[in-house]
Structure 1
Amino acid sequence: MSAAPHTRTEDVVEIVAGIAVPDPYRWLEGDASVPGEVADWQRAQAAYAEETLWSGHDRDAIRALVEHSHEGAWPELPRSGGGLWFRAQGGRLLVADEPYGAGRILLDLRRFDEPGGTAVLSWFAPSPDGAVLAVGVCTDGSEHNRVELVDVATGSLRDDAPPEPLHSSWGGGISWFPDSTGFAFLGLRSPAQDFRQVVYRRELGTRGPSAIEDVPIPDGSREYTRIQFSPDGRWAVAVHRVGTPFPVAVRDLSHPGTGWRPFLPPRPETVVGHIVGDRYVTVTDLDAPRRRLVAIPLDAEDPADPSGWTELVPEGEAVLRSVLPVGDALYLSEFHRTAARVRILDHDGAERGVVPLPGQGALAAPFFPLTGLAAESRDGSFVFAFSTLTTSWGVYRHRPGGALEVLQEPRIAIDATAELREATAADGTAIPYHVVRPRGAAAPAPVLISAYGAAGIPTLPQYQPDLAAVLSAGGTVVQAYLRGGGEFGSAWFRAADRERRGTRDGDLLAVAEDVLATGIAAPGRLALSGGSDGGLMCGNAITARPDLWCAVLPRAPLLDLVGGFRNPYLEFVIRKAWGDPEDPVDVARMIALSPYERVRPAEYPLLYVEAGANDPRCPPWQARKFVARMQAAQRGSAPILLHVYENAGHGSGTGHDVIVAQDAAWLACLLGALGLPDPVAPQR
């Protein structure tokens, strides 16, 4: 077996807010896309990781299991326009008379493939009249996508697509004008690395640059903005901030020449919903941590005064998630102890019934509330995807007063059980977690803990292909609901936000200790995985308690907070979620919670870090630097591994073949660490 590649150090010390921060691997922040030392080092690390983690494994059987698990992956929901239905299927866009009708192919994404880069669908949006389909296309895994416009009648590409790229799909793609003559979108005004986004207005038939829409956002804000239009074309609302959105401005389009006027001022609370008549019907956590449903008059003299709001649904036990107008009803999505529920209401909030969901699980929804505002109902029905921890995604339709229709059956059902349990954190807070184990599996067992706990994003009991593969291979999965996430409302989120970020790490350790103490996990057979900010959680877990884990597997991780100050996008994220990079108190706290800074010589368990070469959120140098420092600090025999995948990003813009390769290597590494046998290839 080869040894880890040698990594040199440099005597680099940066002064940050008056604090000296040694950075011996700063040179690994260099560009690996050009020939040179960084590129050579990255390739050598990938070769070392591949040789090490695949040793003794059946690559074909593991890949076959991963491919099978991905057959149940999150579907792109069909969308309606002009009485037609549009859907994505196998890299193609189809149009039909029904959500899953035979229809015809409008667009094959392979026409956009580039040498070494597979085109990936970022989003799609049919015009209200169904005449034009807008499509977001990414070709390098970076999530940066361009708009393509397809003429639905002919299937030909139009030549009036905007030249401005979108930084990602977090803005929800484009927002069509109600009369289908054009659209608004959030695009980049300068190179992607500068992270300068503005709202554009694009009329169909325009050639050349798009017009900038002068939305009055808070001074200096680099946040995301999405424009919403009322179906009757009277109102436009600009919603600002991706994680905790609020309607920042409103425009009365019935009076030509009338510009945007401020609506709500920036506050920490979420106010996110849809235009219904002349009101903004919205879910908010203002004075209600589990959220309530209110209606705000769009023509109010002082819309920021809550005394002028009408409360439609007060705060209750369940956490309200989102509201969607469907015909003459409102569909209110919520979750109770992580499980989804959907109530049907009149426009005045009176309850008309509930949607009979197929089980205890989750509705498909984007990570962030702002992205979810792209959802709409043009045909008077509620179309949704639903899954559980053991059953893959199915697609369903419901109409007010009607029965539940199955549009697409779930393709995978794992013979496993799920049980909700609780650990107790150091401050006495109960931290819920699901234990999912193959039916009949003995305990204690080899266990993988999966968690996130950040940005107010809820971790929910839904099907995930990588975790499904672990279950199918005989492992037990623990999914933990840590503070910092949004599963239990805004108070749960803010309990581990900014100056309280360390709370999440304590919650994770409480779950790990409980899983061991109660005999769920066998000693020495407990692993951990998490992605993005969950990768930072993994980095802190392995440096804080290396004795707890047999393996830690961060994916597309954030690992170097201080280094992130120098990246425009990460600097934006860090200011939101951690603190001020210019405040010495905040910087000292971030240093204490930054995995790269926490590495010390110790006996560490196996570490396998996966990253994407084109990741715009957690650039690969984050992983490179952490792994280099960990390899130097390792005093045990377990390997410290890194694979930076080419043509890969943060996940959503990455091609299927690359994702399968990543998941297969991750699973091979995990099976070896947990002492599980290779799977038998699934029968077709």
Structure 2
Amino acid sequence: MPHAPIARQASSTDLYAWLEQRDDAEVLTHLRAENAYLEAELAEQGPLREQLFEEIKGRIRETDLSLPSPWGPWLYYQRTTAGDEYPRHYRCPRPTDGALSVDPAQEQLLLDPNALADGGFIALGAFTISPDHSLLAYSLDTSGDEIYHLFVKDLTSGAITTLPFDDCDGSLTWANDNQTLFFAELDDAHRPHKLYRHTLGQDGAELVFEEADGRFFLHCYRSSSERQLILLLSSKTTSESWVLDAATPQGAFRCLAPREDDHEYDVDHGQLDGQWAWLIRSNQSGINFALYAASEAQPERQHWRELIAHDPQVMLEGLSLNADAYVLSLREAGLPIIQVHPHGLPSYRVQLPDAAYSLSVQDTLEFASPLIRLRYEALNRPAQIRQLELASGAQQVLKETPVLGPFDADAYVSQRLWASAADGTQIPISLVAKREVLGQPAPLYLYGYGAYGESLDPWFSHARLSLLERGFVFAIAHVRGGGELGEAWYRAGKLEHKANSFSDFIACAEHLIASGYTRPQQLAISGGSAGGLLIGAVLNQRPELFAAAIAEVPFVDVLNTMQNPDLPLTVTEYDEWGDPHDPEVYARIKSYAPYENVRAQAYPAILAVAGYNDSRVQYWEAAKWVAKLRASKTDNHLLLLKTDLDAGHGGMSGRYQALKDVALEYSFLLKVLASAP
């Protein structure tokens, strides 16, 4: 039998703080020992892991062409090829008849990440073509730490220029002169805090803006009209926008509305009633946001006029603009809604076939286009790209992600359930299973997140079919702290209300058990990042409810992290978790922090996954948590830690490596649940 690595305990109050010494020989030895222990414990699962990998890969069309996007004289698209980890980026001349068919004989290879990776880690940040289509600006992260190098490629000659700037966040924004690029620099806390302006062919760059407040990130982007540049400064609760005519990039940005605590707004530029105008999404009249408009000449706050009033039942999540319409992304009763406002015509909502689904505006195409593209998927329905005619509402499915081999969406049942929280709040659950599985307790994989107002809308997964075909049920707990039911839902699961996220998740688990979908001996739970905090907290509170848990890059050492302002992102997170330098906040975080609350009790089988180069959730959070669990727990269940030594927050970068990671997690679950009584 392999022996689990036992981490030594230091004499400090934090017994495993020594694991925070990055690149220390003892730390690396311990992490490698944990990896070796995992492989030894799962060695008998090797054939199953390989079977799962081949099974999942076999459902994916390995050689495929993305849906081409028309822009100017070109069609832009990506092509994936069997055996390659990354898609290649291409363009070809745009057919004069408006078709989307590509001509391989005339196509031009723009970028090949496979060649750039050369077998190592690589992540593509920006990929942006100059307005005249002559240049490509792109950025690359080669370690997983989310620090990028910047490049410009001449698409006529093929010459590549490396821009001489360090500590970049990866963003690149063109001005309309095709010579000026704006980019952001990271501070020591990994926060984009400075905006620079660089003119091609010149040395250095000019500092345009510096954000001194550690809670605020800056981000520069082009407006939908392509006529304006927008600089957004935002914390978790407050924002401020500055704008600049894209034709005069050497000018000064102007502020639309100076920051005011708890006022969040974002802006876009387009046309309204035949005139150039600003459209502003703001929460100044209510937490679910309203829509305002202002003339191009007078965008300041005192000139805003209301277009769409605040609705306490409907969240205004986003805004998309075309020359002839504006499109609102709404959320009502836990579901995403697309509402179209064609100029001069009645507004309408996009109609869709499923009861629970994911829906978003994927691409507004060119500003003058009468069409936009929507991305639509459900737990049992692969992602579709739907073309929407803005004036009429007519839809056309342009592409559906293929599932190779036997697959019938109707063989799976997708449901929306509701669990009752302790305070009576109804918590939505999205669920999918094969028809014949429902009606009796089955292995169930319950996923959760519940932070930052992010919504876990139902999504399709090729890999998940391997569990569903083995009799699993898959469910998502839409707990408070997420954004599924609007801003109030988010606020009810953050700061002093964070405990609601944990009790909601437990209520969902209890509801699924009480309703006969599963039993505690068959219930596996999973979450990543802030969702890993959720998993760690509920494991401490109700370990007997679960048979297995997977925590990916888990934010489990929240109290120590939030007390260290030198770590990336800590100060910006005060609005989400609170500042533990306040004694009341300290006590509150300490009451639920997973690492702090590990105690002598039986825990289910646990797999924790970390990325050594992760700049968001440091690798040592999982390592310290596992070390404390191993020293404290009273059971003999599996406790495994996998640290990807060459990866960051998102894991390994290639598509095949990602499938191998999923196969590892699934084999762990199948091993654990196979022994359930």
Q: If the TM-score is normalised by the length of the shorter chain, which range does it land in?
A: 0.7 to 0.9
Give the drift of 1:337: 3.5
Whether 1:110 and 2:114 are equivalent positions in the alignment is yes
Whether 1:124 and 2:124 are equivalent positions in the alignment is no
Q: How many Å separate the matches in 1 of 2:230 and 2:111?
A: 32
Give the drift of 1:397: 2.6
Partner SS, residue 55 of structure 1: helix
Alpha carbons 1:453, 1:504 under 8 Å: kept: yes
Alpha carbons 1:648, 1:655 under 8 Å: kept: no
**1:417 matched residue in structure 2:** 413
Tell me which moved more, 237-246 or 318-327.
237-246
Residue from 508, 528, 531 that aligns with 1:531 = 528
**1:38 matched residue in structure 2:** 27
**2:642 matched residue in structure 1:** 643
Q: How many Å separate the matches in 2 of 1:92 and 1:312?
A: 42
Give the drift of 1:465: 4.8
Partner SS, residue 587 of structure 1: helix
Alignment of 1:533-682 (within 5 A): 533-564=530-561, 565-566=563-564, 567-651=566-650, 654-675=653-674
Q: How many Å separate the matches in 2 of 1:575 and 1:361?
A: 32
Q: Which one-letter code corresponds to 1:108 in the other structure? A: D
Q: What do residues 174-219 of structure 1 show as CA deviations (whole Å, max 9, x unaligned)?
A: 222234332323232x56x65453112222333x43222126x574
Give the drift of 1:296: 3.9
Give the drift of 1:476: 0.3
**1:502 matched residue in structure 2:** 499
Q: Which one-letter code corresponds to 1:266 in the other structure? A: E
Alpha carbons 1:73, 1:463 under 8 Å: kept: no
Residue from 463, 466, 471 that aligns with 2:460 = 463
Alpha carbons 2:364, 2:372 under 8 Å: kept: no
Tell me which moved more, 95-104 or 139-148.
95-104
Residue from 58, 82, 95 that aligns with 2:72 = 82
Alpha carbons 1:147, 1:165 under 8 Å: kept: no
Q: How many Å separate the matches in 1 of 2:206 and 2:29?
A: 44
Q: How many Å separate the matches in 1 of 2:14 and 2:242?
A: 44
Give the drift of 1:648: 1.7
Q: Which one-letter code corresponds to 2:169 in the other structure? A: H
**2:84 matched residue in structure 1:** none
**2:50 matched residue in structure 1:** 60
C-alpha RMSD over aligned residues: 3.1
Whether 1:214 and 2:209 are equivalent positions in the alignment is yes
Q: How many Å separate the matches in 2 of 1:66 and 1:417?
A: 21
**1:183 matched residue in structure 2:** 181
Alignment of 1:360-371 (within 5 A): 360-363=356-359
Residue from 370, 373, 376 that aligns with 1:383 = 373
Q: What do residues 334-358 of structure 1 show as CA deviations (whole Å, max 9, x unaligned)?
A: 233343332221358x634444556
Q: Which one-letter code corresponds to 1:37 in the other structure? A: E
**1:493 matched residue in structure 2:** 490
Question: What stretches of structure 1 of length at least 5 have no aligned partner?
Answer: 13-21, 366-371, 678-684
Structure 1's 611 and 108: CA in aligned 2 closer, same or farther, altered over 3 A? same
Alpha carbons 2:377, 2:460 under 8 Å: kept: yes
Whether 1:287 and 2:294 are equivalent positions in the alignment is no
**2:6 matched residue in structure 1:** 6
Structure 1's 562 and 165: CA in aligned 2 closer, same or farther, altered over 3 A? same
Q: Which one-letter code corresponds to 2:55 in the other structure? A: L
Residue from 392, 396, 402 that aligns with 1:405 = 396
**1:310 matched residue in structure 2:** 306
**1:249 matched residue in structure 2:** 242
Q: How many Å separate the matches in 2 of 1:542 and 1:108?
A: 44
Give the drift of 1:492: 0.7
Q: Which one-letter code corresponds to 1:187 in the other structure? A: E
Q: Which one-letter code corresponds to 1:31 in the other structure? A: R
Q: Which one-letter code corresponds to 1:501 in the other structure? A: K
Q: How many Å separate the matches in 2 of 1:376 and 1:272?
A: 20
Tell me which moved more, 132-141 or 237-246.
237-246
Partner SS, residue 521 of structure 2: strand
Q: How many Å separate the matches in 2 of 1:73 and 1:500?
A: 47
Whether 1:47 and 2:36 are equivalent positions in the alignment is yes
Give the drift of 1:539: 0.6
Partner SS, residue 522 of structure 2: strand
Give the drift of 1:610: 0.8
**1:265 matched residue in structure 2:** 259
Whether 1:143 and 2:132 are equivalent positions in the alignment is no
Partner SS, residue 491 of structure 1: helix
Q: What do residues 121-171 of structure 1 show as CA deviations (whole Å, max 9, x unaligned)?
A: 2342222222222223222233333232232334x1432646244336xxx
Structure 1's 99 and 344: CA in aligned 2 closer, same or farther, altered over 3 A? same
Alpha carbons 2:176, 2:246 under 8 Å: kept: no
Q: How many Å separate the matches in 2 of 1:484 and 1:331?
A: 26
Q: How many Å separate the matches in 1 of 2:480 and 2:63?
A: 26
Q: How many Å separate the matches in 2 of 1:454 and 1:69?
A: 32
Partner SS, residue 484 of structure 1: coil
* Number of residues of Structure 1 aligned to a counterpart in Structure 2: 645
Q: How many Å separate the matches in 2 of 1:199 and 1:517?
A: 54
Structure 1's 652 and 608: CA in aligned 2 closer, same or farther, altered over 3 A? closer
Residue from 478, 481, 484 that aligns with 2:478 = 481
Partner SS, residue 426 of structure 1: coil
> Using CA pairs below 8 Å that are at least 6 residues apart, which structure has the higher relative contact order?
1
Partner SS, residue 609 of structure 1: strand
Give the drift of 1:251: 4.1
Tell me which moved more, 586-595 or 177-186.
177-186
Give the drift of 1:595: 0.6
Partner SS, residue 588 of structure 2: helix
Structure 1's 181 and 87: CA in aligned 2 closer, same or farther, altered over 3 A? same
Structure 1's 231 and 419: CA in aligned 2 closer, same or farther, altered over 3 A? closer
Whether 1:438 and 2:441 are equivalent positions in the alignment is no
Q: How many Å separate the matches in 1 of 2:341 and 2:9?
A: 62
Give the drift of 1:669: 0.9
Q: How many Å separate the matches in 2 of 1:534 and 1:71?
A: 30
Give the drift of 1:525: 0.8
Q: How many Å separate the matches in 2 of 1:198 and 1:637?
A: 51
Give the drift of 1:407: 3.0
> Which aligned segments of 4 or more residues in structure 1 are displaced greater than 6 angstroms?
72-77, 253-256
Structure 1's 259 and 332: CA in aligned 2 closer, same or farther, altered over 3 A? closer
**2:102 matched residue in structure 1:** 101
Give the TM-score normalised by structure 2.
0.87
Whether 1:240 and 2:233 are equivalent positions in the alignment is yes
Give the TM-score normalised by structure 1.
0.86
Give the drift of 1:398: 2.6
Structure 1's 270 and 489: CA in aligned 2 closer, same or farther, altered over 3 A? farther
Percent identity, aligned pairs only, is 25
